[in-house]
Structure formats: C-alpha cells, structure tokens
Structure 1
C-alpha cells in the first residue's frame, strides 16, 4: 500500500510542479505500438491533449491523438494521397519533418519535407528566425498547407505553408526546472528521470538505476565517450534512437570520414557537427572505408577537434559505442579483455580505448521485460531532451574540488574522464547546482569505477604502461584516502588480511595459458606412514614434476630446516588452487617446499606474503620472469610482502618505483633462507 501511495504522491507532485510538461507513459506505449512515429512526436501530442490526471479527459485526449495521427501524419507510401488532398481541399494539416535551406540564388528560404517528398517549398523567413533548428537537421512540425498553382511562375512550387507549429519544443524555461527540482528528493528525481525515458524504477535495483542514468550522460555532456558492452535485449541503443531528437544511431557497418566528420567536396561538417550524440550500434561491425578513419576518430575523441584539409574543425558531439558480449564476463576476463568485441583494427589499440571516459557494465542490466516499462507519469520526451541540450552549455566538472582530491594513480586522461562523468551526473541529478558532500562522493565513486574498468582492460592490452589502476580519492578535511574497486575483478582481495593456517601459501606465476595469476597451496600434515598425496593439478605433467621435486628435496634436506621434522610418521596432503582460472603453473617447487616445512613445523607463513621464484631438483633458485607484471598481479591480489630471489635483484630497474614501494620485500639467497624468511624466523 505504501508504494502505491508513493506513486500517487510522485505523480501528483509532477502534475503540480510541471503542469503540462508530463505525460502518462502507458499512453505512449499503447499508441506507439500502432504508429511508426518517434516517441517525442507522439508525446508532444499527448502533452497537448492528455496532460492531466483526470481519467475521462485522458481517454478523450488519446482518441484525439489517434485521430490526428491517422488523418494528418504523413506515411511515405501515402505521400501522393496527401498531396492530392491538399490540392483538392485547398488546405490540409500534415505532420512531417521539415528541413530548410537558404536558396541564395533566388534569395528565399525553401523547405524540404521528409515523408511527403516535397522540395523547394517557399517558407516565410520569420519561421526560420524563430525556430533555428529548421536549418540544422530539421524539426518535426504540424503544418497547415495550401495549394495554389500559378501558370506565370512555372518553377515555383504550388504548395505553400500557411501555418507552422514545431513539435519539438522551440524554447525552454530553465528556471522552471531548477525550481521544480527543489520539490523532489534525490531518489524521487532519479525515478522521474527514469520514468521520462519509459522505465519503471520500482522494478530496478539501485546499481541498474545508476547505469541507466549514465546512458544519459552523452546527451548532457559535450565530447563524452561512453562504451557499453553487454548481453542482447538490455536496451543499450534505445535511448539514442527513440528518446532524444538530438542523437543519432549509426547502425553497425561501414562508415566514412566524410559522413562522420567532414565532407571535403561539399565543405560540410558530418554527423559530429549536427548531433549532440553519435551512437554506434554493434561495435563489432564498425569499419571505415578510409585508412585514416580510426586515427581521425581517436583525434576527435581526445580533443573534440579534427583536421581535414588545411583546417582544424571543432564539434561537440559525444561518442557512444554499444555492442554485444556473447560469452560470460568471467570467461572474457580470463581469456581476453572486456574490449574484445570491438573490430580487430581497434581491439588491441590501447590509445583508442584510453579515450573512453566510462565503461558501462551492460551485463549488470537485466534483459528488458514488460514490467520494466512504466505506466506512471514522466516528463514529455521532448521537454527532457531540451533540458538535456540546455545543460550542455553548463559545466560542473569542478564540483569535486570543494570536498575531494583525486589519488596519485590517476593520470591526466583519467582525471578528465572522471571529471566529465561527475559533471554529467551532477547536471542530471542536481541541475540547479544544489548538492552536498555525500551527493558528490556517491557520484565520484561511480565515476571512478567506470574509468578504472577502462584502465584495467588497458593494462591487459598495453601491459606495464597502464600499471597504475588503483584509483582513489582523498577527503580534503581529514586527508583520508579511499580506494574504489571494480566488481568483476573481485575487489582484488584474493589474498586476505590476517595470518593463514600452517601449510598454506600464496604464489604468483605463469599459468598454462601464459597469463600471470595467483595460486594457493594448502598442505595438511596428519599422523600416518609417510604418504604424499597431491590434488588440483589435473593432467599438467610439468606441475606434477614440480611438486615431486619439492617432496624429494624435502625428504633429503628436512634436517637443514629443523631436526624435529619427520616424514615417516606423517602423511602430507597437498591441494593446489588456481585462483584465477588460467591453468596451473609449473613454478610450484619452492612454494610447495616452504608449505611442507610450514605444515610440519605448525608455523604459518607471514600475513599477506607471496613467494616468487622456483627451484631445480638440486635446489638451484631460478629468477622471476616478467618481474614488473608479476609484482603488479601481486599488488592487485592484495599482497603486502614479497619473498624474492636474489637473482631477480638485477631486474628491479624494470619495475616502476611507485609499484616497488608498495611492498615489504625480503630477498633470499637459497632454499633454506627462503623458508626462514617466509616463516618470519631470522
């Protein structure tokens, strides 16, 4: 009952503070199913006739809208019929998309009708002055058309426009929104925004609500680059195609530099100059006919400008990349990276992905079901689209600075990305600039996670160049630093804090797939007759040999560690865990030997320690391959202490100093030295 009351009060609030600007979204759904018109055209009409909460008036209004659409909306296949009606009746009202050009040779403005197919129709200059969008991409309008054929003027169109009313809102009072926003709590306002794009927030979890808000950022923020990959059927491209008249969806496939950026022949700017957001559907299919296409796109995504011919051109369109991930995220993370669905030309171009400001995890959004679509009130789509467009002129990228500093792992590109995401979400949630420290902290954490997701994948593609992924922010009042983690990376705490059990040890090495990962050896020492059992190795012959080497060395050299260790009176049970699913490593010998000593002596390994290096059958220590990358994996997993062979000291220069400084490093000379240092016995 309480939730019903909430809906009633939110609907009542909307109708009170935004009278005439809201519409009941189930009406849109009903009519949309039978009419192929953009949502914003439909809702403009519903806003005219159904912006009320009186049921009888609504039903009457819906019938009226249906009649207007059936009588006046021009379907392309009925264009000739409508033209005939205008001629026979002398005057007729039509709904169509109008684009206007100046014919400078004859000094008059001429209109082109999208569905009616008319060109060269004269239009009064006062409409052009009043509705400038007619000249930039066109507007849907309700038009009163007349027909008059003059034999004297052969080349003039007999059709003319006697009255024009734009369906897209020609202007907007921002104060109305700022004042109206004060009447709603943050949660209510989020619900209002989501209902305005047709979603039902009461059916969605909190993180899903935030992801749906993030889809709107490209519409309010200039030059914002967003990537969303996930399963099919989660509405990734819906908002850019149906909801906003200011964005365009480029369906997958080939595109050209001329179409997207600048046509050298006609001297016209392409899509990035005409639209607020350009969304690419099905990223796997993006190809450029031009060789330099991706290079120009990278240039544009970084700076908002691109060079064509002798000139540098600027544009403010945001870039959105949406596509499908066909396998599970876990599999993708283990075998490749989260940008894998991009075409080959981009898939390993770390510079291209470094320009992404946010990676939205599409796999966290459920597949759309009927109950996810709302039947309650939301803003008329066109009203919210104009609000979004108006907010592009403002910036809140400095809203962090009052309360927080960003951590030292963020480079300049990271800082720009985080600031843009914060600015976009503040524009959506607090357009009047009224927010608290907690509000900004919530937005900042969300912004950091999405950029860190980009950086984690860059680390997989580009290696050590992108090692600094540990994003944090610092409270200005008490200098406390807080870190954010990416959910699908498991929070990076594979190695927990606190002392482990005797016989348990962590190591990091190359798995069967060639990737570097974390492994755990668990050893149980129980009374018995000297049996040795090992599990968790599968059919990996090299790993089995490595463990056997450790046990043989243990039998022969146990006295060098302690006279109290016995093999005959105990059984040694060992299990090897591959914590990241990359295939068991063959570099187990040294860690297995230390684990047996630890279990036999009932002394645990030092807390959060990782053992690096392995040994041969005669106890010779081998150094660590790819030391810098190995240490990065240790850090990501939560290690604080590293046991490192002296032989690897020569490679320390390859490790970034900031990374090396994160650990307490102990060097060991030989096998016995490694055991004592691991157990903390000097």
Structure 2
C-alpha cells in the first residue's frame, strides 16, 4: 500500500475496500458494482492480505451458491424445491395485484412471479415497486393442490444497501485528509487511478456524483464513446436508475393516470437517460413538456393533480462531431433529437459536462488502491441531500447582477454539490471555494451560451463575479479559450464586458484589459506563433488543464527556426515518457532545419537515482539516431537538487522559459499506434503550464 492507502485504512476501518477486488470476484455475474462491493465490504474491508484472500473466497462462494444466473434458474428452483428453503441474490420488483389486494414479487433472473410479499416490506422498501432492487432473499417452496396459488414463499428480504452510518465520524475523518488526498480517495472510490487524471479531470468525474447529493439537479454529458458516461448511474449507487436507450414513457417516468401509480421520479434519487443523443430517436412531445415543468418547478401534473418529486435528472449521450465542427456549424447540443433541442428545455439544465475532455477508459486507468465501499459513499451522499451549501461562497464573492435567477440556480446547485462532496466537514479556504465557484459557473455558461445559439431572443449575460476587494473576474469555458474565433462567431448574443473594465483573467489576480481577454488573447497569440512567417516577440502565455491543439511545433518551433545551437535545461528528463518528450522536440528541430544544415542540441538534466544506466542507454540511442538527421545531440548530468529552472536557450537570441519543462501533456496511451493522441501532439490534453519568451 502507498501512503494514501495506509491513511485511508487508518481513518475509515471497515468502510473501504481494495477496488481491484471487484473484478476478481465478479466472474460472469451480471450484477452492479455496488452489489459486489456490498459483499466485499462484509468480508474484505481490511488491509490484511490473508483476511482479504479469505474474504475473496467467501464472496466467490456466496456468489457461486446464491447468485442466480438466468441460464441456471431451473437448477436453482429445483434446489429450493428439494431443500425447502434457499437464499438467493436477485433483482426483485413488486407490483400490486388490486384484484386480490396483495403485493406480488417477480424475481428477474430466477424467473418466478406472483410471490406474495408482506405489505410491511413494501412500506420499508418502496423502491421495490419501481424498477426493482437487488436483494438477498430467503425463498421457500410449498407444494399446493390449488392451481391458482403460488408455491413460492418469501421468508425474508434484505435490499443490498447500507443500513446505517455515522456522518459525524465521516466528517471528522475528512479533516485528517488534505483536499488533494480527499479528491484522490473519491476518485479511487469511483474506481479510477487518480495518478492518471489531472485536477480538472478529477472535478469533471466528481460532478457526476452531484445528482446523488443534490435534489432536483439536472446535468447533461455529451462526448465521444467509451468515456464511462453511464457507469456512475448504473453501477455506483442503489439510489440511481439508468434508463437504457434513453427512451421512456410519461407514465413510467412520472405517474400512470389509470392506476395512480407514481413513476421513477417518485422513488429514485437520480434518473439517468442513457444514449440520450440521436437525431433519429422517437421523442414524445408530451414527455418534453412535462420534463420542462418538472426540471424547473420540481413538480408535475398529468391533469389529475399536481405532484412533487426530488429526483435529479442526468442525460448522457454520444457526440458525432468534434468540438470545432460543432462550434463552426451548429452548437454543443446539435446531436440531440430536434424535440429536445428546445431552448426552454435546455435552459433548465444546470451543468454541461464536457465529455470530450474525458479520456476513453483504458485498463490501466482502473484503480488497485483503496476506496470507499460504494454503498457507504452512496448513503453519505444521499444523507446530504437535505443540506444546502450554495451560500458558502457569498462571504467571499458576489455573482454579477446580469446573471439571471435560472443561471444563478444552476451555479448554486453545482457549487453546493461539489462543496458537499469535497468539504463535508465545512472547512474550505477562499481559494478552494473560488475554484469550485468558477467550475460551477463554467458548466452553466456552457449551457447558456449554446442555448442562446438556438434561441437568440435570450438576453445577453456577463458570467462574472466580484471579490470583497471589488475585483471583477470573468469566467469563460475551455473551448471558448481554445477556439475563440469559432466560439464568438455564432455567439454574438453573449455580452462582453466593455473595453476598460478591470477584470482579472482566470482568477489569478493579474488584472488585464478584458478587451484582450474576451477574444481569447492568449490562444490567439499562441496561434500567431505557428504562422509561416511569425512575428516573434517577447510575451508570456498561460495554458489550462485539458486544453488541446498545442504542440512543440507551434509552441516552441518558430523560436528555434534558424538556430544552430540549442541548450535544453530540464532536470526531469529521466523516465521513458519524459525522454520521449525530448525525442519529439528533436523531431520539431528536424522539421525546421534545412537538409544540409547541422544543429547542435545539448541537454542539461539530472541522472535518475535508480535507473541511470537505462537513462544513458536511451540518450545514446537518441544520439545515434539524431546524427543521421544532422543533429549533434549531447548531454551532461548536473548535481541533483541544484537544478530548478527549465528553459531552452538558442544561439540566435531567444530564451524560452517553460515552467513545466517539456512535460506539458496529460497521460495518454503511448502503446496504441491507432491513437491520434499518440501520434499527434495537438490531439493530447495538456497540463496547466506557462511559457515565457525572452529576447536575450
């Protein structure tokens, strides 16, 4: 175990489990992760390896003996008949037989119906009536001569979810973790390795949890296939319902007028629509209309009476186009059915998760560290639905008066949800609060900007906030900063602050004239560098996490053109991916130089403490390969601990200072030859970094 895993086990004994165990025990059991983790939490919630192995065998045995596979249902029914009583793990749904005035259960995999259920069980677990619940149940078989009687008897039923928890203990233990450690714990609890995610990517993952801790929260995520958009809603919590295919009827979702039976929104904390995108999907206009009313007012009516509910709504789907294409030709909702591309419906969405920023899920992204047993975390989040943390930013910041009530509600709900997830103990610094506020504003701005593209009659909005000192801060979306010309092209309705307004860009506190910041000045300047005959000038540029379109060719190349001698100073050219970065920089040099020119490149770095010999071997291979292209590559090792600066100096008068050195890209799959991120730098997401060009 690493230091974080040790700390997790120390402060949450018995409530955490090693996340790779889920795959170990799952086998061919088609059950949600929270069912498996419920069992693992009973037998494997420890850091003792011997106990874990014993627990794994126990869980495997329980699944083998009691989980009902559909193709073995007949054998299980026979076992119950022969033994008289048998324990099964199955998904159970209950319906009311109003003719006989009894509740009857249906076992999904076992394939038996009309099993009588005690009304007291329904009062205790009403979700059995809607959608079904995974349970551990004791079944009995009693033969009868009455052909209308069901021979199956339900002795006991226990839904697979936590029965109790101590929130005060949870909040107290949270205080023992730094914010970074806590975020990593939550990411591991979801099942991912936090080392492979940037801070912004981690927050994006955690927004997916907000529907479970915030009442009536409406979120949409559209992006490429395979990014795990629906995983949280189907596997994470026993309080969420994922509707596969994205199509559902009004009676099933809200209320059936003929029976008076309440729909999904009355029983589940979160109802998620999978495969929500699709131009060809058949959509009931009545569903859109009742959804609009429910998402805005938390109530619905089908002509009989007005009912209220508190289920959050999540809409997830795949995009068919790239972000630049959508910005140039349409809007970020363009893949939705025409009836859902209704500005009144879209304006009720509180946050748009940019699915294109989320990496396609790969095997190495899954965690083998410790995280909360998910049903424990699900109950913690559910308990916090009663709280409201939206006011917490107001002692430090004030939202612009331009921001409408609906925009404000969206920002408040996202901010409140993130506060509950990250700071359940209530302690957050001004900087931490500002980070969440900016993130919440950005997600709502993405909704509003593209709703305005669909319906230009919406009034313009300035998404800014003010601190206690009176400084005004503008918030823009990442794609707005990446593609300023495309974003503003169809964004004329969005209000821009007047020239001369003093606005601190990106919340850094450095005040700039917003006339430059509004048109994406940083990225525009960066793009100017890459022109065929660039105007080279001294400047300082900042880039954000997950920003794309950046490469050494554009970022550094123009300032290297014409140089015959380069000195690269970077103490972190040790690991394989760092040495690969160096190789890619040399590729840029090769592209720039004439075939008959020779360029000397000297690297000053630090020898790796453990793999120095391998490091030298890599440098020697680069040296031999570079020589064939007219590049004389050499290197020296400096004393460890004395090197801090990272820069490139040319012999024709430029110094390029890189605060992260060459390590500007997020993790990507280096072994996938079919990945464009592997082959083209501009398709990789970046880390946050800054670069300064200095004329010597």
TM-score by shorter chain over 0.5: yes
Call closer, same or farther: CA 1:323–1:137 in 2, change over 3 Å: closer
Q: What is the CA–CA distance in structure 2 between the aligned matches of 1:9 and 1:332, rounded to whole Å?
A: 44
Q: Is the 8 A contact 2:29 2:69 kept in 1?
A: no
Please list the CA deviations of residues 512-546 of structure 1 after superposition, one character each: whole Å capped at 9, or x if unmatched.
xxxxxxx9xx9x9xxxxxxxxxxxxxxxxxxxxxx
Aligned pair partner of 1:483 in 474, 480, 484 = 474
Q: 1:26 corresponds to which residue? A: 20
Unaligned runs of 5+ in 2: 489-497, 501-514, 516-527, 534-696
Please state how far the C-alpha of 1:117 moved relative to its aligned partner: 2.7
Call closer, same or farther: CA 1:184–1:167 in 2, change over 3 Å: same
Call closer, same or farther: CA 1:388–1:195 in 2, change over 3 Å: same
2:23 counterpart SS class: helix
2:89 counterpart SS class: strand
Q: Is the 8 A contact 1:485 1:492 kept in 2?
A: no
Is residue 333 of structure 1 aligned with residue 324 of structure 2? no
Call closer, same or farther: CA 1:229–1:222 in 2, change over 3 Å: same
Q: Is the 8 A contact 1:97 1:141 kept in 2?
A: yes
Call closer, same or farther: CA 1:255–1:130 in 2, change over 3 Å: closer
Q: 1:267 corresponds to which residue? A: 260
Please state how far the C-alpha of 1:127 moved relative to its aligned partner: 4.9
Q: Is the 8 A contact 1:229 1:362 kept in 2?
A: yes
How do residues 311-390 of structure 1 correspond to structure 2 at under 5 angstroms? 311-347=305-341, 349-390=342-383
Is residue 255 of structure 1 aligned with residue 248 of structure 2? yes
Q: What is the CA–CA distance in structure 1 between the aligned matches of 2:127 and 2:173, rounded to whole Å?
A: 27
How do residues 180-579 of structure 1 correspond to structure 2 at under 5 angstroms? 180-252=173-245, 254-285=247-278, 287=281, 290-347=284-341, 349-463=342-456, 465-468=458-461, 470-475=462-467, 477-490=468-481
1:45 counterpart SS class: helix
Q: What is the CA–CA distance in structure 2 between the aligned matches of 1:110 and 1:254, rounded to whole Å?
A: 27
Please state how far the C-alpha of 1:74 moved relative to its aligned partner: 0.9
Q: Is the 8 A contact 1:263 1:270 kept in 2?
A: yes
Call closer, same or farther: CA 1:132–1:273 in 2, change over 3 Å: closer
Q: TM-score, normalised by structure 1?
A: 0.67
Q: What is the CA–CA distance in structure 2 between the aligned matches of 1:376 and 1:243, rounded to whole Å?
A: 17
Q: 1:574 corresponds to which residue? A: none
Please state how far the C-alpha of 1:190 moved relative to its aligned partner: 1.0
Q: Is the 8 A contact 1:283 1:341 kept in 2?
A: no
Please state how far the C-alpha of 1:265 moved relative to its aligned partner: 1.6
Please state how far the C-alpha of 1:159 moved relative to its aligned partner: 2.8
Q: 1:590 corresponds to which residue? A: none
Q: 1:45 corresponds to which residue? A: 39
Q: What is the CA–CA distance in structure 2 between the aligned matches of 1:14 and 1:350, rounded to whole Å?
A: 45
Q: What is the CA–CA distance in structure 1 between the aligned matches of 2:298 and 2:118, rounded to whole Å?
A: 35
Please state how far the C-alpha of 1:493 moved relative to its aligned partner: 7.3
Is residue 17 of structure 1 aligned with residue 11 of structure 2? yes
Q: 1:516 corresponds to which residue? A: none
Q: Is the 8 A contact 1:131 1:170 kept in 2?
A: no
Q: TM-score, normalised by structure 2?
A: 0.66
Please state how far the C-alpha of 1:210 moved relative to its aligned partner: 0.7
Please list the CA deviations of residues 610-633 of structure 1 after superposition, one character each: whole Å capped at 9, or x if unmatched.
xxxxxxxxxxxxxxxxxxxxxxxx
Please state how far the C-alpha of 1:132 moved relative to its aligned partner: 5.3
Q: What is the CA–CA distance in structure 2 between the aligned matches of 1:129 and 1:332, rounded to whole Å?
A: 49
Q: What is the CA–CA distance in structure 2 between the aligned matches of 1:124 and 1:455, rounded to whole Å?
A: 49
Q: Is the 8 A contact 2:85 2:140 kept in 1?
A: yes
Q: Is the 8 A contact 2:130 2:263 kept in 1?
A: no
**Over the residues paired in the alignment, what is the CA RMSD in angstroms?**
2.9
Please list the CA deviations of residues 214-246 of structure 1 after superposition, one character each: whole Å capped at 9, or x if unmatched.
111112111111111111111111111121222
Q: Is the 8 A contact 2:324 2:483 kept in 1?
A: no
User: Which one is further off, 33-42 or 407-416?
Assistant: 33-42
Unaligned runs of 5+ in 1: 1-6, 499-505, 507-518, 525-682
How do residues 94-113 of structure 1 correspond to structure 2 at under 5 angstroms? 94-100=88-94, 110-113=104-107
Please list the CA deviations of residues 311-370 of structure 1 after superposition, one character each: whole Å capped at 9, or x if unmatched.
1121111111222222221121111111111112233x2222111111111111111111
Is residue 118 of structure 1 aligned with residue 112 of structure 2? yes
> Which is greater in Rg?
1
Q: 1:147 corresponds to which residue? A: 141
Call closer, same or farther: CA 1:311–1:64 in 2, change over 3 Å: same
1:255 counterpart SS class: coil
Residue correspondences, number: 493
Q: What is the CA–CA distance in structure 1 between the aligned matches of 2:283 and 2:484, rounded to whole Å?
A: 45
Q: Is the 8 A contact 1:288 1:294 kept in 2?
A: no
Q: Is the 8 A contact 1:255 1:288 kept in 2?
A: no
Q: Is the 8 A contact 2:212 2:270 kept in 1?
A: yes
Q: Is the 8 A contact 1:139 1:168 kept in 2?
A: no
Q: What is the CA–CA distance in structure 2 between the aligned matches of 1:271 and 1:98, rounded to whole Å?
A: 16
Q: What is the CA–CA distance in structure 2 between the aligned matches of 1:251 and 1:368, rounded to whole Å?
A: 20
Q: 1:82 corresponds to which residue? A: 76
Q: What is the CA–CA distance in structure 2 between the aligned matches of 1:350 and 1:104, rounded to whole Å?
A: 42
1:94 counterpart SS class: strand
